[in-house]
């Protein structure tokens, strides 16, 4: 029987798999691909900024800034498995430190001149310029070297935030789960509220905050994406090192982790410190993007949006978190058409379209589930995308023109879908849901679209807060159909893209596995005998 084993040992694929052990597999190719993608990203950014749309550049920069924050929060929430709700506090510390250190001389003078400011001569003098002057680098205090001062300031902001992370990390050694989440939330709020108290007002300028923070860095796509790339590099390297594995083991099972020699205290605090450092960096970029540092830009809702991005994208997955962040930023920056004033008839059309799409989507999911086939990925993406486009785009469609007609044509396949023989058959028992949705949709569409002039249809309505509702609905849909987020727990990797599955047995291995586990095939004994042990079976 030892033949089976030796034959397997000679199988080159198996030998390769055991030798490389999935570490650094196809390393050269992956590095090249990553660099290539980076280059494409740079070209894409160059092209997109070249379009000259300030709104787009702002959205891209904001994506990178929030990306730094969500990826770092994901280190605690996803990798370490601790629900932390105090990220806005770390961001505040980093942001205020950066703002204070690079504030222009004019802004400093205004603070001193203002009667309401609590800042003193000493605290107003806290700047990278003065630091440089005092160590004999006075040449670097001009306008041309502001970027260097910004780098120093944001790094120091990260360090101060990391020290706060150390302090917050310590209670995490005694607490678990929900209790720890409450403590981190408390810390975040304490940081925010104490910043306006008399004790810290000389440093933070109290409720007034800092105006006139140089915004050329936070608004620059290159600076922000540079920091995002740096964050991604550090966090992903950490995640795939032995330390990252140790942190994941804490997430999986704290007791077992400790019983396998992992120092829980060290790894938790390490996670908190690194995460807080990058939160501080994100805070520095955030104040620069905003152009000012004010306490109401660091509310808990900031952390809440990060959590939404993490859950929607995929907890624990760096690539997933970026997808989630992009989604949140898109709704936030481009959701304003939803909150404008529209005629009620327009709203009705909008609702009708959504109902039709929902009915068709329900039908498709159902029929594919019933026939045992998974809904193909392209269909899921098509539905998500079309829902999204309609959600944001349909209210802006101009009145009666080609666009609208095109839209109606686009909807026809969805309407006739349930009557197609091979799709409609599979909906036994739930067909009425589909028909009700489609019927209601068509009716609403007709009322809204064909007779817009009559009676109560003439009014207007403003969907105040629709942006939040759209985000919430999106989150609900994602959570129902993909509870682990869009990307899920796993990362997007090159080996995933090329379907290099290390965990799939070859035909030979499958046979051997069956032979090992099936007593009918293997009466002599188990693996112990196969290994050539001298002992006989009992």
Q: Which of 63, 155, 225, 243 binds other proteins (CB under 8 A)?
A: 243
Q: Which of 176, 237, 374, 462 binds other proteins (CB under 8 A)?
A: 237
Pick the closer one to other proteins by CB: 465 or 526: 526
- Please give the Cα distance from 260 to 276 (Å, whole number): 27
CB of 461 closer than 8 Å to CB of 352: no
Say whether residue 21 binds other proteins (CB under 8 A). yes
Pick the closer one to other proteins by CB: 21 or 454: 21
**Per-residue interface string for the shown chain with other proteins, residues 461-490, x marking contact by CB under 8 A:** ----------------------------x-
CB half-sphere exposure, 214, CA atoms < 13 A: 23
Residue 91 beta carbon to other proteins: minimum distance, rounded to whole angstroms: 23
Say whether residue 491 binds other proteins (CB under 8 A). no
Q: How far is CA 180 from the centre of its chain?
A: 22
428 SS3 class: coil
Q: Calculate the CA dihedral of residues 158, 78, 230, 70 and round it to 10 degrees.
A: -70
Say whether residue 32 binds other proteins (CB under 8 A). no
CB of 394 closer than 8 Å to CB of 449: no
- Interacting stretch for other proteins, rule CB under 8 A, among 145-153, 172-180, 373-381, 519-527? 519-527
User: Which of 73, 59, 45, 60 lies closest to 283 in space, CA to CA?
Assistant: 73
117 SS3 class: coil
Phi, psi of 501 (to 5 degrees): -95, 115
Residue 535 beta carbon to other proteins: minimum distance, rounded to whole angstroms: 6
Say whether residue 109 binds other proteins (CB under 8 A). no
Number of neighbours of residue 70 by Cβ within 10 angstroms: 29
Site size toward other proteins, by CB under 8 A: 53
Burial of 298 from C-beta contacts in 10 A (0-12 / 13-18 / 19+):
buried
Residue 137 beta carbon to other proteins: minimum distance, rounded to whole angstroms: 27
- Interacting stretch for other proteins, rule CB under 8 A, among 18-26, 158-166, 386-394, 395-403? 18-26
Say whether residue 72 binds other proteins (CB under 8 A). no
Token digits for 268? 């938790």
Q: Which of 257, 288, 297, 319 binds other proteins (CB under 8 A)?
A: 257
Query: Which residues neighbour 414 within 8 Å (Cβ) at sequence distance 6 or greater?
Result: 356, 357, 359, 360, 438
Residue 488 beta carbon to other proteins: minimum distance, rounded to whole angstroms: 11
Question: Interface with other proteins by CB under 8 A: which residues?
Answer: 5, 8, 14, 17-18, 21-23, 234, 237-238, 241-243, 245-246, 248-249, 252-253, 255-264, 270, 489, 502-506, 509, 512-513, 516-517, 519, 525-528, 530-531, 533, 535, 537-538
């Amino acid at each position: 029987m030892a033949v089976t084993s030796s034959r397997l040992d000679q199988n080159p694929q198996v030998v390769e798999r055991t030798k490389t052990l999935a570490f650094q597999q196809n390393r050269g190719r992956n590095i090249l691909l990553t660099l290539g993608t980076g280059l494409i990203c740079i070209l894409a950014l160059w092209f997109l900024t070249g379009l000259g749309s300030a709104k787009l550049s702002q959205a891209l920069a904001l994506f990178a800034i929030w990306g730094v924050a969500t990826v770092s929060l994901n280190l605690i929430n996803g990798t370490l498995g601790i629900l932390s709700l105090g990220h806005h506090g770390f961001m505040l510390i980093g942001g205020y430190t950066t703002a204070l250190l690079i504030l222009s001389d004019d802004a400093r003078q205004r603070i001193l001149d203002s009667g309401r400011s609590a800042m003193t001569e000493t605290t107003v003098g806290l700047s990278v310029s003065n630091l440089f002057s005092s160590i004999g680098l006075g040449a670097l205090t001009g306008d041309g070297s502001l970027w260097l001062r910004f780098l120093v300031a944001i790094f120091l902001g990260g360090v101060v935030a990391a020290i706060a992370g150390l302090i917050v990390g310590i209670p995490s050694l005694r607490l678990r789960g929900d209790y720890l989440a409450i403590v981190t939330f408390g810390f975040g709020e304490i940081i925010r509220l104490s910043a306006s108290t008399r004790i810290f007002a000389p440093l933070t300028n109290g409720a007034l905050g800092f105006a006139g923070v140089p915004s050329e860095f936070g608004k620059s796509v290159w600076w922000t994406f540079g920091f995002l790339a740096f964050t991604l590099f550090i966090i992903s390297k950490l995640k795939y090192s032995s330390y990252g594995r140790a942190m994941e083991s804490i997430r999986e099972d704290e007791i077992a982790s400790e019983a396998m020699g992992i120092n829980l205290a060290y790894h938790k605090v390490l996670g908190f410190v690194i995460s807080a450092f990058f939160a501080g960096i994100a805070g520095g970029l955030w104040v620069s993007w905003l152009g000012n540092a004010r306490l109401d830009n660091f509310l808990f809702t900031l952390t809440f949006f990060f959590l939404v991005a993490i859950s929607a994208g995929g907890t624990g997955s760096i690539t997933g978190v970026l997808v989630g962040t992009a989604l949140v930023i898109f709704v936030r920056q481009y959701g304003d058409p939803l909150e404008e004033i529209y005629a009620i008839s327009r709203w009705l059309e909008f609702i009708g379209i959504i109902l039709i799409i929902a009915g068709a989507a329900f039908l498709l999911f159902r029929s594919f589930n019933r026939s045992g086939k998974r809904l193909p990925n392209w269909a899921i993406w098509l539905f998500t995308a079309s829902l999204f486009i309609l959600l944001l785009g349909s209210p802006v469609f101009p009145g009666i023109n080609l666009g609208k007609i095109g839209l109606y044509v686009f909807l026809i396949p969805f309407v006739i879908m349930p009557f197609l023989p091979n799709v409609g058959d599979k909906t036994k028992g739930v067909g009425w849901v589909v028909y009700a949705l489609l019927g209601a949709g068509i009716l609403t569409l007709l009322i809204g679209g064909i007779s817009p002039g009559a009676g109560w249809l003439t009014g207007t309505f403003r969907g105040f807060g629709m942006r939040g509702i759209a985000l919430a609905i999106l989150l609900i849909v994602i959570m129902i159909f993909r509870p682990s987020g869009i990307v899920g727990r796993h990362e997007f990797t090159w080996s995933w893209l090329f379907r290099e599955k290390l965990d799939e047995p070859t035909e030979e291995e499958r046979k051997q596995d069956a032979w090992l586990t099936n007593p009918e095939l293997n009466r002599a004994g188990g693996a112990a005998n196969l290994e050539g042990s001298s002992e006989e079976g009992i």
